[in-house]
Amino acid sequence: MTTRRWLGASACATTLVAASLSGVVATASSPESPTSATASSSRAAPSAQSVQASPLRTIQGGATQLWNPGQVSVAPGNLLVAVNEGAYDLGTDWSITVHSGSADGDVAPLRRIAGNLTGLRRPTGVDVDSSGRVFVADALNDSISVFAAGAHGNVAPIRVLKGAATLLDGPAGIDVERNRVAVTNRDDDAVLVFDVEATGDTAPERRILGPATGLDQPYRVVLATTGELTVGTWTGQVRTFAAGAAGDAAPIRSLPANAGPVTGLALGSEGHVYVTAQFSPTPVVVYAPGATASSRPVAQLEGEFHDIDLPRGMTVRPDRQVVVTDEADDALYTYADLLAPPPKPRVRTPGKVRALKVAGGPRKARRAVTWRKPAVNGGAKVTKYRVVVKKGKRTVVKRVVSKRKVVLRRGKLPPGRLVVRVQARNQKGFGKAATQRFRVRR
Are 173 and 35 found together in one domain?
Answer: yes
Are 265 and 123 found together in one domain?
Answer: yes
Q: Is residue 193 part of a domain?
A: yes
- Count the Cβ atoms, other than its own, within 10 Å of residue 7: 15
Is residue 326's pLDDT more than 70? yes
Q: Is residue 432 part of a domain?
A: yes
Are 159 and 257 found together in one domain?
Answer: yes
Range of the domain at 382: 354-440
Are 326 and 360 found together in one domain?
Answer: no
CATH number at residue 63: 2.120.10.30
Are 235 and 367 found together in one domain?
Answer: no
Strands 384-391 and 416-426: antiparallel
What pLDDT was estimated at residue 89?
Answer: 58
Select from 335, 362, 386 the last residue of a domain.
Answer: 335
CATH number at residue 417: 2.60.40.10
How many separate domains does the chain show? 2
**What number of helices (H) and strands (E) belong to the chain?**
2, 33
Are 407 and 324 found together in one domain?
Answer: no
Q: Mind listing the pLDDT tens digit for each residue in 3-49?
A: 444 444 434 443 333 333 333 333 333 334 333 333 333 334 446 88
Q: Is residue 217 part of a domain?
A: yes
What pLDDT was estimated at residue 10?
Answer: 38
Q: Is residue 396 part of a domain?
A: yes
Are 241 and 372 found together in one domain?
Answer: no
Model confidence at 352, pLDDT cuts 50, 70, 90, reads very high
What pLDDT was estimated at residue 48?
Answer: 83
Are 329 and 370 found together in one domain?
Answer: no
Are 380 and 319 found together in one domain?
Answer: no
For the entire predicted model, the pTM comes to 0.74
Q: For 25-38, b where at least 16 C-beta lie within 10 A, e where not — what string?
A: bbbbebebbbeebb
Q: Mind listing the pLDDT tens digit for each residue in 268-309?
A: 989 999 999 998 889 999 999 999 999 999 999 998 899 999
Are 380 and 306 found together in one domain?
Answer: no
